[in-house]
């Protein structure tokens, strides 16, 4: 228990160098190594029971609801009919608890590789783990990668509740993983993944948004506040196979009586919309990848190299949803038309249309 000294647990990590998070410990309730990781639960003085994996705080009883409610309801409320849901990770059960509450969800499959985390959470985090007892749930203890390879076009919504991109979890932040999720989604499906912190991981977020936009017609980034996560924030990467999705406006707005009956403490329609409004430093930095993508598309068109993923009816130019839908659809349509032209005839119309888009970024 190297992380506990003089009655205080201190979290340090190479992903947030030069800073630490400390909580006062009343009692260590559990500490063992599973097949996959170091698992610890301690009772803190002010945040209730705390789950720690490999020395990093995963959740506390006091503030877990903000993350769990947002990663579940942002995608669920943007899908017109999210009947079938897949959760990758989330062994503490908090995301599952929120998903099974949703009135339109009929079935949930959860893939968690570490059964010890599930069992520990049932014992020491019962308020989060209650979702494991839902009749909507099919629990799969195993590798989410392998499960999705065998279940394509199967889910309306996929939620990845992962730890930070260190060790085995690093693969969950790669393009190949997002491609795998795409194949597991039904037509019009939506995914939402843990998206790190804009204060600490802006370059990683930018990289992820860039490759996501080569896979999906609509990509956006949101965040919520949570005191015990690094810098007090955590983000969400959202992608949709439906080019008409607008993540910033709920497809189905939860009425007040449902918010009450679902016992939501953080999520509501207003916080949904606000979650996509980024501070100026992050907005500017993330807007750069739009320019880079447009330049890449223009270069490809002029060189006679078409993007096979972007071409076609699903979305030649995936742009931020802060652009008006009509504008985004027009740009996609133009890309489609240009990609059908002989290479020698592309230069003038390409320059005229996309240069205006580029300079307005």
pLDDT in tens, 271-291: 999 999 999 999 888 877 666
Q: Which of 54, 63, 161, 306 is catalytic?
A: 161
In what helix (H) or strand (E) does residue 210 lie, and over which residues does it extend?
Answer: helix 202-212
Based on the domain organization, do 146 and 270 belong to the same domain?
yes
Based on the domain organization, do 154 and 55 belong to the same domain?
no
Contact assessment for residue 10 and residue 22, using Cβ atoms and an 8 Å cutoff: yes
Token duo for residue 205: 């977020």
Percent with pLDDT over 70 in the chain: 78
The pLDDT tens digits of the residues spanning 19-34 come to 999 999 999 999 999 9
Based on the domain organization, do 157 and 286 belong to the same domain?
yes
**At which of 40, 60, 80 does a domain end?**
60
Residue 303 or residue 100, greater confidence: 100
- Strands across the sheet containing 185-194: 137-141, 107-112, 84-89, 155-161, 185-194, 233-240, 218-225
Which residue is associated with the tokens 């007040």?
A: 256
The pLDDT tens digits of the residues spanning 216-269 come to 989 999 999 999 999 999 999 999 999 999 999 999 999 999 999 999 999 999
Based on the domain organization, do 29 and 79 belong to the same domain?
no
Per-residue pLDDT band for 326 (boundaries 50, 70, 90) equals very low
Contact assessment for residue 77 and residue 275, using Cβ atoms and an 8 Å cutoff: no
Based on the domain organization, do 195 and 171 belong to the same domain?
yes
> Average pLDDT, stretch 7-13?
95
pTM confidence score: 0.84
Contact assessment for residue 104 and residue 81, using Cβ atoms and an 8 Å cutoff: yes
Instruction: Print the domain residue range for 226.
Output: 63-291
Based on the domain organization, do 54 and 190 belong to the same domain?
no
Rounded to 5 degrees, what are φ and ψ at 190? -130, 145
Q: How far apart, in whole angstroms, are the C-alpha atoms of residue 49 and residue 29? A: 9
Residue 332 lies in a domain: no
Q: How far apart, in whole angstroms, are the C-alpha atoms of residue 211 and residue 254? A: 32
Based on the domain organization, do 146 and 17 belong to the same domain?
no
Q: How far apart, in whole angstroms, are the C-alpha atoms of residue 146 and residue 141? A: 11
Q: What number of other Cβ atoms are within 10 A of residue 307's Cβ?
A: 17
Based on the domain organization, do 84 and 231 belong to the same domain?
yes
Number of domains into which the chain is organized: 2
Residues sharing a CB contact under 8 Å with residue 349, sequence separation 6 or more, in sequence order = 334, 338, 341
Residue 344 lies in a domain: no
**At which of 244, 266, 291 does a domain end?**
291
Residue 78 lies in a domain: yes
Per-residue pLDDT band for 333 (boundaries 50, 70, 90) equals low
Based on the domain organization, do 94 and 47 belong to the same domain?
no
- Is-catalytic flag, 320? no
């Amino acid at each position: 228990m190297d992380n506990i000294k003089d009655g205080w647990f201190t979290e340090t990590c190479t992903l947030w160098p030069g800073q630490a998070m400390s909580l006062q410990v009343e009692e260590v309730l559990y500490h063992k190594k599973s097949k996959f990781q170091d698992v610890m639960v301690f009772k803190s003085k002010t945040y209730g029971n705390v789950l720690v994996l490999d020395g990093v705080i995963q959740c506390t009883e006091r503030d877990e609801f903000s993350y769990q409610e947002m990663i579940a309801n942002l995608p669920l409320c943007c899908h017109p009919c999210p009947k079938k849901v897949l959760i990758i990770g989330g062994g503490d059960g908090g995301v599952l608890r929120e998903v099974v509450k949703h009135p339109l969800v009929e079935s949930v499959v959860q893939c968690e590789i570490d059964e010890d985390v599930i069992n520990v959470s049932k014992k020491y985090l019962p308020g989060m783990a209650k979702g494991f007892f839902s009749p909507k749930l099919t629990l799969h203890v195993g590798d989410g990668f392998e499960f999705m390879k065998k279940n394509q076009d199967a889910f309306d919504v996929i939620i990845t509740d992962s730890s930070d991109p260190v060790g085995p979890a690093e693969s969950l932040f790669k393009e190949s993983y997002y491609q795998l999720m795409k194949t597991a989604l039904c037509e019009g499906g939506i995914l939402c993944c843990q998206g790190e912190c804009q204060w600490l991981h802006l370059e990683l977020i930018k990289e992820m948004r860039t490759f996501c936009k080569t896979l999906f017609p609509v990509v956006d980034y949101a965040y919520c506040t949570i005191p015990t996560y690094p810098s007090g924030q955590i983000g969400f990467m959202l992608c949709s196979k439906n080019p008409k999705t607008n993540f910033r406006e709920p497809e189905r707005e939860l009425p007040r009586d449902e918010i009450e009956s679902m016992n939501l403490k953080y999520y509501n329609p207003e916080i949904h919309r606000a979650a996509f409004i980024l501070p100026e430093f992050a907005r500017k930095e993330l807007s750069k990848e739009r320019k880079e993508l447009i330049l890449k598309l223009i270069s490809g068109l002029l060189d006679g190299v078409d993007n096979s993923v972007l071409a076609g009816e699903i979305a030649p130019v995936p742009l931020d949803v802060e652009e008006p839908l009509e504008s985004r659809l027009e740009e996609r349509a133009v890309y489609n038309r240009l990609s059908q032209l002989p290479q020698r005839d592309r230069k003038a119309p390409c320059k005229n249309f996309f240069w205006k888009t580029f300079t307005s970024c």
